[in-house]
Structure 1
């Protein structure tokens, strides 16, 4: 068994698509209209056949309180691996991305946490 698709709830699918592709560097994989929403996935440019991230609409009534609670407690909704957290932090900061946690090294792992502009905190991580 392996992960095929995972998701993050987003406030606006079009805004999320722009952020996740133009800013973070993911590539759009699927974009299928489903009424008012879309089955909208992105993948790593480095692994185009890899795990898909579904940019899932936040329409369900439970999603808003869930997302707000995670953000209030500083809990990332997802974690993405990068080769160099500090370099990625600098690149994204130059693009206007807001970080809620600057690069931090703890126990051989470096992490940083950013705001995805769609209601989520996202962690970037590099394990030693």
Structure 2
């Protein structure tokens, strides 16, 4: 069986990304070592569950262009799951996270909310 154990988010600044994903969202750092002039930096859920998330530097012009195009069109780079979008919205808003609106309930899709990760991305939060 194939399963996802690593996914990536392109970020403009790895230290800023670490500060946000660990310090604000509540992930814990799993790997952090030098790699080709940047860092191999991954985070995981605080309880260790789920896939690792690599905070990849946007080191190429095409990566920056792709990231900016998604952002400019309001398209999330990825989606992160949680048990209660409303509760996370309240928690993260209190920490200063900028959302693109409140949680949205959908008939045939989980409740979602979209926030800015301070690193050039929109991230969708969905109830899993």
* Count of equivalent residues: 126
- CA–CA distance in structure 1, aligned partners of residues 106 and 49 of structure 2: 32
Shift in alpha-carbon separation, 1:33–1:125, aligned structure 2, 3 A: same
- Name the counterpart of 1:58: 58
Hey, which of these two has a bigger chunk of strand by percent? 1
TM-score, length-normalised on structure 2? 0.93
Greater mean alpha carbon deviation, residues 114-123 or residues 97-106: 97-106
- Name the counterpart of 2:41: 40
- CA–CA distance in structure 1, aligned partners of residues 36 and 78 of structure 2: 26
How many Å apart are 1:49 and its aligned residue?
Answer: 5.5
The ranges of structure 1 where at least 4 consecutive aligned residues each deviate by more than 4 angstroms after the TM superposition are none
Deviations 1:53-100 (A, max 9, x none): 000000111011111110111111111111111111011011000001
- CA–CA distance in structure 1, aligned partners of residues 124 and 116 of structure 2: 9
Matched, 1:7 2:8: yes
- CA–CA distance in structure 2, aligned partners of residues 8 and 126 of structure 1: 20
Q: What is the root-mean-square deviation of aligned Cα atoms in Å?
A: 1.2
